[in-house]
Structure 1
Amino acid sequence: MDETPVTGRVIAERYRLIGLLGEGGTGVAWLAHDELLRREVAVKEFRVPPGLDPTAARLLFRRLEDGARSAGRISHRNVVAVHEVAGHGGRPWIVMEPVRGLALSELLEADGPLPPRQVARIGSEALAGLRAAHAAGVVHGNVTPSKVLVANDGRVLVTGFGTGSGAAAVPPVAQGAAADLRALGAVLFTAVEGRSPRGDAPRAERADGALAEVVEGLLRRDAAGAMPAAEAEHRLRLAGAGGAVPPAPAAGAHGPAPAGSAGARGEKSDRSHVVL
C-alpha cells in the first residue's frame, strides 16, 4: 500500500490533491485538480477496514470498483457524475463531480422540518435522478437524507451510487428500484415531518394533501398499491411548483404520467460533497 496522501500530492499521475473534504467509514474524500482537463474534481480514496485480510480487501475493492463503474453509466443532471475509477497505491480512487452545497440531512439538522412545497421540489428532482439510474440498470441501495444534495446552483443531486461498503450483493434492478423508491418516500417523510416513518402505513401529518399522497404512495410495501415512479415525479413537480394536483387514483389503479421539470434551492454553502 502507498503512504497516506497529503495535500499537493498527485494521484494516478493526474489528480493533484488540494484539500481534505471529509473522512468516513469507507475512506477519505479530497478536493483535487485534474491537471489534464484543468478542472476541479472530488476524489474518494477507499481504505482497508481494520482487521480485513489482503484477500478480502481485494474482493472489497473489486466490488467498489464495479459499483463505481456502474454509477459512471448514469448521465443525468440530478445524479452526481462519476468520471473515472483510478488505481493508485493498490486501491481504487473514485473521481467525481464536486458539488458545492448542503446535504438534505444538513438542512434538516440546521432548520428542522422543511415546508411541503420545498420538499416536493427536492423530491421531484431526486426522483428524476433515481429514475435515470434505474433506466441505466443501476440501483442505489441506500437512499438517505445524506445522499440527497441541494447544490448552490439550485440543482438537487443524488449521490452515493456504487460508493457504499460494497459488502452487500446488488439486488435485481426491479427489486432494487422498488426499494429505492420506498427509501425516497422515507426521506421525504423525514424532511417534511421531522421524524422517520414508523409502522406499515405511516401518515404524513405536516404535509399538504398532494405531498402526503405521494409520500404515502411511495412508502407502500405492496408493489401493486405503490405509486409508480413516473406518476410520483409528475405529482411532486406540480406540488413543488404550486400547481393544482388532481386526486390520486385508488391504490393499484395508477397509470403513467408525464414528467415536468422544476428546480430546488437550499441554503448556499462553500462545502463540496462526496459521500463517505
Structure 2
Amino acid sequence: MSAGRLAGRYSLLRPLGAGGMGKVWLARDEMLDRDVAVKELTLPEGMSDKERHDLVTRAVREAQAMARLRHPGIVALHDVVVEQERPWLVMELLRGRTLADTVREFGPMPPGYAARVGADVLEALMAAHAQGMQHRDVKPGNVFLTESGRVVLTDFGIARQEGQATLTEQGLMIGSPGFIAPERLEGEPGGPASDLWSLGATLHVALRGVPAYEGSAAQRIRATLTQPVPDLQGPLGPVVTAMMAYRPAARPDPRVVLQALRQVAAGGPAPQLPVNAEVTAPRAAGRRRRATLWIAAGAAVLAAAGATTFVLLDRGDAGAAGAFTVPMDVCTLIDQQEVGRLLRTQSPPKGRPDSDEIGPKCGWPLPGTGVGLQVQKDSDTVDPWSMTESSARTLFQNQQRYWAKYDSIDWTWPEIGVKKSMRAARTPVRQLSGVGEEAFGFELKGPTGRVVSAHVYYRLANLVVSVEYTTLGEKPTDEDIRQAALKAAQASVRALRDAQ
C-alpha cells in the first residue's frame, strides 16, 4: 500500500524504511496535526487464525509495556493500532541520521564524542532495564543522532519484558550478527548484560568505523562464539573490551561503565576496569560446537530475509554433547539462586533428592508451589548414566507418545500441599526449541481451567530429563507458569553442559 489511514486519524504518507520486523512509514496525525512515524509489524506467513490472534495480542501487550518507557534517550511510543490483522506502532518522528549512517559518511568518531553517545544510550538502557525491559537489538542502526543533538535508542519493537514471552520468543532469536551477545547465540534468553555487550559492539563501530567481527553473517556469528574481542586502542579500548567480555558475569556494572564513559566524554582518561582473561575469553570447544548450527541457520535466513535485522532459528543447544557416564547429584542441576528466582523467594528451599523406578529426581517445594526435576531411564537400563544416545532417543519418543495419549491425569504433590489426588486436563503436547537437542512440553489445567503445572521433557546426548513447575497461586499467569518451567529446564541444560 502506498497510502492509507489508520484508526481514522493517521494518514500514511510514504515508506521511510523496512527491516526484518516490518516497515516504517512517515505519517500524519490529523487529530494532533503533527508528523509521526508508524511502524507496521510483520507477522510470519502461514499462521492459523488463532496463532495470528495470539501474536497480535502479545504484540499489543509488549507495546503497552514499551509505552511506559519515558526517557529522552528512548523513542516515544504514542499509540498502538491493530488493523488489517496486524499491529501498527505510532512513534515520535526523529529527524537526523543513525550512528551507522554517520560513521559510514564521516568515518570513525573521536573518543570523546563516541563516549558521550555511548553514555546516553547506556542511560536509556538502564532506564529500560529498571522496568524489566531488554532491548535485544542494540546496534549502530538503532542509535539515532537527532539534529537537535539528542541521542535516541530506537526500535524497541522486539524488546523483551522480563518474565514474559514475546512476539519472537518461541524458537526464534532476533538480532543482527556481530551485535548479538554470545550467550544469546548459545540459546540463553540473555538479560541486561546482553544489551551491554551489544552496546560495546556498537561503540567499536563508532570508534573504528568497522564492526569488531567482520565478514558474512555466518562468519560474524562464528567469530562471536569462538574469538576474543579484537584489541581497541585509545582511551575507550579497555572499556569496550570489558563491556564485550564473553561471559555476562565478567562484564562490569553498567553504573561503572557509565561513569567511565562520562569521564572520557568530559575530556578525562577512562578509569581502568578490571578484566579477568579467564572469564572473558570464549568457552571451550563444548560451547563452540553451537557455532556450526547457528551459522547454517543464520546464513539461510539472512538470504531469505534480505534484512539487516533478521531471525535466527534456534534449534536447541546444538550439537552433540558428549555422553554423560558419571552419576551426579541431580539436585545440583538447578542452583539455589535460580530456584529462588523461579519460586519468587529470597529463601529458596534446598533440593530434596529422591528416586523411583524411572530414575533419580529432586524437588524444591514450598507451600503452594515447587520445582521438580528427574533424570530418566528405560526399564532395560540400570541407571540414566548407562543410557546410550540411541536408547535415550527411543525413551524420549516414547515419553512424547505417552503424554500425547492422555487428555487428563490424576496427580499429587504432598510437599506443596496437594495431598489428595487432583484431576487435571492436559494441554496439547508441543515441540520446543532452545532446550537440549530435542524437547517437548505441555501444561496441566486445574478445575478452574487455569494452568497449575507446566512440564518440559528434553534430551541432551544420552540423557532424558523432565522438569516441572507447579503453583497453586492465583497471581502467576498461564504464560508465567510456562516460562518458569522453560527457564528451569534451560538452567538444568546449562548445568549439564558445564559439568562436561
Aligned to 1:265: none
Report the secondary structure of 2:198's partner residue: helix
C-alpha RMSD of matched pairs (Å): 2.6
Aligned to 1:237: 262
Aligned to 1:24: 19
Aligned to 1:202: 229
> Residues 140 and 249 of structure 1: is their aligned pair in 2 closer, same or farther, counting only changes over 3 Å?
closer
- CA drift of 1:65 comes to 2.2
**What is the distance in 2 between the residues matched to 1:134 and 1:200?**
28
**What is the distance in 1 between the residues matched to 2:120 and 2:93?**
18
Question: Which structure would you say has the larger Rg?
Answer: 2
Of 58, 61, 77 in structure 2, the residue corresponding to residue 63 of structure 1 is 58
Is 1:226 matched with 2:251?
A: yes
**What is the distance in 2 between the residues matched to 1:223 and 1:185?**
13
Is 1:182 matched with 2:197?
A: yes
Partner AA of 1:192 in structure 2: L
Checking the alignment, whether the CA contact within 8 Å between 1:32 and 1:43 is kept in structure 2 is yes
Aligned to 1:133: 128
Report the secondary structure of 1:192's partner residue: helix
Partner AA of 2:258 in structure 1: E
Aligned to 1:248: 272
- CA drift of 1:251 comes to 4.2
Partner AA of 1:125 in structure 2: D
- Count of residues in Structure 1 that have an aligned counterpart in Structure 2: 244
Checking the alignment, whether the CA contact within 8 Å between 2:96 and 2:145 is kept in structure 1 is yes
**What is the distance in 2 between the residues matched to 1:51 and 1:191?**
40
- Structure (1 or 2) with the greater strand fraction: 2
**What is the distance in 2 between the residues matched to 1:229 and 1:108?**
25
Checking the alignment, whether the CA contact within 8 Å between 1:224 and 1:251 is kept in structure 2 is no
Q: Which has the higher contact order (CA 8 A, sep 6+)?
A: 1
**What is the distance in 2 between the residues matched to 1:66 and 1:176?**
20
- CA drift of 1:175 comes to 4.2
Checking the alignment, whether the CA contact within 8 Å between 1:32 and 1:40 is kept in structure 2 is yes
Checking the alignment, whether the CA contact within 8 Å between 1:78 and 1:126 is kept in structure 2 is yes
**What is the distance in 2 between the residues matched to 1:176 and 1:215?**
18
For normalisation by structure 2, the TM-score amounts to 0.45
Checking the alignment, whether the CA contact within 8 Å between 1:120 and 1:236 is kept in structure 2 is yes
Partner AA of 2:241 in structure 1: E
Higher mean Cα deviation, 11-20 or 107-116? 107-116
> Residues 24 and 250 of structure 1: is their aligned pair in 2 closer, same or farther, counting only changes over 3 Å?
closer
Of 30, 36, 40 in structure 2, the residue corresponding to residue 41 of structure 1 is 36
Aligned to 2:80: 85
Report the secondary structure of 1:99's partner residue: coil
Partner AA of 2:167 in structure 1: G
Aligned to 1:260: none
Partner AA of 1:35 in structure 2: E
Of 134, 138, 141 in structure 2, the residue corresponding to residue 143 of structure 1 is 138
- Structure 1 vs Structure 2: percent identity of aligned residues? 34
> Residues 223 and 24 of structure 1: is their aligned pair in 2 closer, same or farther, counting only changes over 3 Å?
closer
Checking the alignment, whether the CA contact within 8 Å between 1:68 and 1:163 is kept in structure 2 is no
**What is the distance in 1 between the residues matched to 2:212 and 2:274?**
25
Report the secondary structure of 1:162's partner residue: helix
**Which consecutive residues of structure 1, in runs of 5 or more, have no partner in the other structure?**
253-274
- CA drift of 1:17 comes to 1.9
- CA drift of 1:181 comes to 0.6
